[in-house]
Structure 1
Amino acid sequence: MNGREFLILFLYFLSTNANQIHRRFEYKYSFKPPYLAQKDNTVPFFEVFGNAIASSESIRVAPSLRSQKGSVWTKSKTTFDWWEVDIAFRISGRGRIGADGLAFWYTSEKGDYNGEVFGSSDKWNGLAVIFDSFDNDNKHNNPYIMAMINDGTRKFDHQNDGQNQALAGCLRDFRNKPFPTRAKIEYYNNVLTVLFHSGMTNNEQDYEMCLRAENVVLPKNGHFGISAATGGLADDHDVFHLLTTSLYPPGQIDTIGQVPAPDNEKISQEYKEYQQKLERQKEEYKKEHPDEQKDDLEDWFETDNQRELRQIWQAQTQTAEILRELSRKLDEVLGRQERTLGLISASANQVASGGAQQQPQYQQQQQQFNTGTDSGIRRQEVDNLINTQNILVQSIRDLKTQLNDLNQRSEMLITNQKQGGSQGGAFDMHSLVTEMRDGMNQVKMSVAGVQARVNQPQPLQSCPTSNCLGLTPFLIAIAVQLVIILGYNMYREAKGNQSKKFY
C-alpha cells in the first residue's frame, strides 16, 4: 500500500467516525452459514438461478466446469438509500489461470443468468463490481477488481476486459488463497468505496483500499445479486456470506420504527398494571392452595457464598485423598525401614554370638556395608530413606497446621452464615471466603510439593571410603528413629479420629 492509498483509507475512516453513521443489519438482504440453505435447497429471501448450488455452508455460484453460469438475487428491492455489503468468497482452481470471474450487482432489475457478463445481463442499470480472473486482452493485468456504472445503454467490452468503461479498479490476486477473500462495498452520500481482504490472513479486519469514487448516482431502489461464469477454463466460485447493512445519517434512524411518546407511555402503564395483577393473583392462589405451593425457583440455584463453600469442601475432599495417598507411600517407606532394621539386628546378633572367632567375618561385612558393595541394603539407600522420612514428617506438620487453620475458618464462616440474618451482615463474607480460598491454595501447593518430593527419585550418592559411620552410632540413630516412628503412629491415629469428626 503506497502513501496515497493509505491517506485515502485514513480519510475514509476518519470521515466515517466523524459523521457517526447509524448502521442497521438487514437480514432480508443477507445470508450466512450455518443453515444457509433450507432442506429444499432454497435460500431465504433470495432466488438461485442457473448452475448455482446452495448448501448449508455456502453457495457455489459457478462450479469448476466449462461454460457454467449461475447467480443469486434478492427477492425484494431495497427500502434504504445508503448501504454497505460485506462479501466473503473463494475462487479456486487447479489451473494457473482462472476463468471467468465473479461479479457483485446492485441494479434496478434482476439480471438474467444466461447473460454475457459474468452470469448476468448486459446493459444493466446500476452498479457492477467485477472480480475478473481471465486476461482477455493479454495485457497481463489480471486478476483485476473494477467497478462499473451503467445506465442501461452501454454494452460490456469483453475484448478489452472493460478497462475503458471502468469507473475505478485495482490489481489484486484473489485466486487460491488459504483463507476466504472478502470485499466490503459501501455506498453512502454518493460515494462508492470498495475495500478488499486478500485472504492471506485470518484477521477479518485486514482490509486495504481498492477504489473510491465520488459523485456516483445509483437507482434509489434496487436488487442485490452475485453471479459467476466459466468459459474454456474453469474455477469454483463459492460465496460464504453476503451481509447487508443499511446506513443512515445522524438523527434519521431515530424516527424510523419509533413508537410515538403517548403510545409508549400507554403501553408501559398497561404492562405495569398487568404485572401487578399477576402478582395479586399469585398471592391469592398461594393463600387458597397452601398445600399445592411449590418451592420457589430461587431454591434451585445457589448463591455466591454457597458456591464458595461447595468449592471449599470439594478442595478439602481432594486434599484428604492426597493425604491418604501420602500415608500409603509413607507406610511403604516404613516397611522398607523395618526390613532394614531386621537386617541390621541379624548382623548384630551374629557379631555378638560369634565373638572373637567371627571378628574377621564381621569386619568384612562392616567394610562391605560401609562401601555399599554387598548384595543387601546399602548405606546410601539408608540415608535416602532417612532424608525422605524427615521431609515427610516436616511436610505433614505443615499440612496439619494449615488444615487446622482452614478448619477454624470454615467453622467461623458457617457460624457467621447461620447468624448472618440476626446480625444484619455484621461480618465480611467476601473477605472470609477469600481467606479460605487462599488457605486452600496453600494446602494444594503444599500437598503438590510433598507429592513431588515423594515421587522424585533421590540421587544415589557414593559412600566415602573412609570415616564411615560405625555400627554403634548407627544403632543409636535407628533407636531414635523408632521413637519418632512410634510418635508419628500415635499422631496419625489422633489425626484420623479428628478427620472423622471433620468430615
Structure 2
Amino acid sequence: MISRSSLILFAAFSVSLCDDGHEMEEFLKREYSLSKPYQGIGVSGSSHWELMGDALVTTDYVRLTPDQQSKQGALWSRLPCHLRDWELQVHFKIHGQGKKNLNGDGLAIWYTKERMQKGPVFGNRDFFTGLGMFVDTYPNEEKLLEAQRKRYTPRTQRIFPYVLAMVGNGTISYDHERDGRPTELGGCNAMVRNLKHDTFLFIRYVRRRLTIMLDIDGQHEWRDCLDVPGVHLPQGFYFGISAITGDLSDNHDLISMKLYQLTILRSKQEDVEEQEVLIPSVDNLELLRPYTDTEGMSSIAIFFSVLFSMLGVFLLVVVGLVLYGHWSENRRKRFY
C-alpha cells in the first residue's frame, strides 16, 4: 500500500516519480476540479460544471441521487480536457437505508466524448466513447446466475460493491445483466457503503497506462485496484460523474474532484510512438477479460449447446447398448 498523504498535493504544483522512476511534475488544474463551496454550479456562464437530472448542490456535497427509487443525476465539465497525462482524485460517499445487496445501483466517473446525455449506464448513455469507471453496488449477475442455475461460470467470484473500468469506442454496450464483465479491464471489491470515514478513488492515466487505487478503509493509504497498460484515450474528452437508482436506492454524493496535469519527460521515440489517438482502444483486450470462453454466448445458445451435448451422450449410450446386445447375442450363439 501507498500512504495517501504521499500522493495528495498540498499545493498547485509538486514533483514526484512515476512508477517507472521517471520524474513527473504535477499541476492542479482548477478549471477541471471541484470542491466546496461549489459556487455557481449549473448557472450558465459562471461555472465550469453543469448539473443534469436529479442532481442538486448543497453546502457540503453534490448529491447525484437521493435515497429514492428511479432517480438519476450527473455533473459534467463544460470544458474538454486536452491533457495527455493526468491524475484524478475523487472524494465521494455512498450511503442509505438499504441493507447488504438491497441497495443500488452505484455511481460512475467518466472521461468521454459525449456529455450531458441521460442513459441506463449509471445515469449516462450506453455505447459511450471513452473511459468509464464504475462503483457498482448491486450484483445483477449474481441474481442472473441464480435464475439461470449457473449456465456459465466466471473465473473469479466478485464481492459487491465492486469497482471496475471499461473503455468504449461508441459501438460497445455495457452489459447490465453481467455487471460489465464482458468488457471489464479489471477491478476490485470495495466496501464503500455507509462508512463513517472518508472514501476516495484515485485514477491515473500516464504513458498509456491506467491505474486505479482506493482509500476506503480509513487508514489514509491507497490500495491497488487495477493497473492496465496499453490504454489509448484521445484528448479533448469531458470529465463527468453520474449515478442512478432503480427499485433499490442510495444517496450518491460527490464531495470533491481534483484533476492534476502530469508532465513527464519523454524521448523523441516515445513521442512518435504516442501519436494522437483518435479512437479509444486497449491493447490485448481479449487477454484482459476475466471470463471463460462461454461468456459471449447468449442464454439460448448455451441452452441448445447443453441440450445437444446431452442428446449426443444419450445417443452414444443407446448405440453402445445396441452394439453390446449384438455382441452378447453372437457370443451366446457360438456356445450352442
Give the TM-score band, short-chain normalised. Answer: 0.5 to 0.7
Please name the residue that 1:38 is paired with. Answer: 40
Question: Which structure has the larger Rg over C-alpha atoms?
Answer: 1
Q: Do 1:103 and 1:227's aligned partners in 2 also have CA atoms closer than 8 Å? A: yes
Find 2:131's aligned residue among 127, 134, 137.
127
Q: Do 2:163 and 2:189's aligned partners in 1 also have CA atoms closer than 8 Å? A: yes
Q: Distance in 2 between matches of 1:155 and 1:57?
A: 35
Please name the residue that 1:75 is paired with. Answer: 78
Q: Do 1:129 and 1:145's aligned partners in 2 also have CA atoms closer than 8 Å? A: yes
Give the alignment of 1:339-488 within 5 angstroms: none
Q: Do 1:73 and 1:226's aligned partners in 2 also have CA atoms closer than 8 Å? A: yes
In the alignment, residue 22 of structure 1 is paired with which amino acid? E
Does 2:119 align with 1:101? no
Q: Percent identity?
A: 30
Please name the residue that 2:194 is paired with. Answer: 176
Q: Distance in 1 between matches of 2:225 and 2:184?
A: 13
SS in 2 for 1:169: strand
Q: Distance in 2 between matches of 1:167 and 1:121?
A: 19
Structure that is richer in strand per residue: 2
Structure 1: gaps (5+ residues) = 6-12, 253-503
Does 2:94 align with 1:91? yes
SS in 1 for 2:183: coil
Q: Distance in 1 between matches of 2:50 and 2:203?
A: 21
Does 2:48 align with 1:48? no
Which of structure 1's runs of 4+ aligned residues deviate more than 3 A?
Answer: 13-17, 37-43
Give the alignment of 1:52-67 within 5 angstroms: 52-67=55-70
Structure 2: gaps (5+ residues) = 3-15, 146-157, 268-336
Normalised to the residue count of structure 1, the TM-score between the two structures is: 0.45
Q: Distance in 2 between matches of 1:251 and 1:141?
A: 40
Q: Whose RCO is larger (CA < 8 A, sep 6+)?
A: 2
1:127–1:39 Cα change, 3 Å: closer
Q: Distance in 2 between matches of 1:30 and 1:14?
A: 22
Give the alignment of 1:235-314 within 5 angstroms: 235-250=250-265
1:132–1:39 Cα change, 3 Å: closer
SS in 1 for 2:232: coil
Does 2:229 align with 1:225? no
Normalised to the residue count of structure 2, the TM-score between the two structures is: 0.67
Please name the residue that 1:167 is paired with. Answer: 185
Please name the residue that 2:172 is paired with. Answer: 154
Deviations 1:185-213 (A, max 9, x none): 00000000001011x32x5x411101000
Q: Distance in 1 between matches of 2:243 and 2:66?
A: 9
- CA drift of 1:251 comes to 8.1
Q: Do 1:107 and 1:219's aligned partners in 2 also have CA atoms closer than 8 Å? A: no
Structure that is richer in helix per residue: 1
Please name the residue that 2:226 is paired with. Answer: 211
Please name the residue that 1:27 is paired with. Answer: 30
Q: Distance in 2 between matches of 1:48 and 1:39?
A: 7
- CA drift of 1:111 comes to 4.3
- CA drift of 1:178 comes to 1.0
- CA drift of 1:17 comes to 7.6
Q: Distance in 1 between matches of 2:89 and 2:238?
A: 15
